[in-house]
Homo-oligomer: A and B are copies of this chain.
Amino acid sequence: MILKNQVEWVLHCCAILAGLPKNHYLSTKALAEFHGVPKEYLSKALQSLSQAKIVETTLGPSGGYRLARPTEEITFLDIVEAVEGKGRTFVCNNIRQNNPCRSADHCDTKPCSVARIMWDADEAWRSKLRSVTLSDLVETLAQDVPAELWKSSFEWVMARA
């Protein structure tokens, strides 16, 4: 069970968009080139972000993407779910219904115990992702990325935004 590589891509894209000055847009082309990923396929992932209202777009030259909300109001969960979907990692097929000892009219009152436990773990995962915002990420990156590289990357982006 592995997340799509698009998740990694859009998280990094959002980090870049987070550093963009107001009223600037960055194109799929620039984002794909910056991260060294295929433009057409990245485009699909960015469309998912757009549908999820995490980014907004404009067309034409100097068009592209920008964040739709302040960085403090965009969580990792928002971004991950936009690409990966909101479904749970554990799907309960209710195999307890196949128990040969069950009467045909047996009716379950609660979800399966196994599923409840697995879903609790899912929720712990979600909860953790919900607790981290893009703002937090930018803060961490600002500390981790050498000042030199931080500056040149910003300039690279601004030459295209």
Is A90 among interface residues, defined by CB-CB distance under 8 A?
yes
Measured CA separation A15–B113 after assembly (Å): 11
In the complex, are the beta carbons of A149 and B84 less than 8 A apart? no
Is A122 among interface residues, defined by CB-CB distance under 8 A?
yes
Is A23 among interface residues, defined by CB-CB distance under 8 A?
no
Question: Among A8, A33, A120, A137, which residue has the most Cβ atoms of chain B within 10 A?
Answer: A8
In the complex, are the beta carbons of B113 and A124 less than 8 A apart? no
List residues of chain A with CB under 8 Å of any chain B CB. 1-5, 7-9, 11-12, 15, 33-37, 76, 84, 87, 89-93, 95-102, 106, 110, 113-118, 120-122, 124-129, 132, 136-137, 140-141, 144, 149, 152-153, 155-156
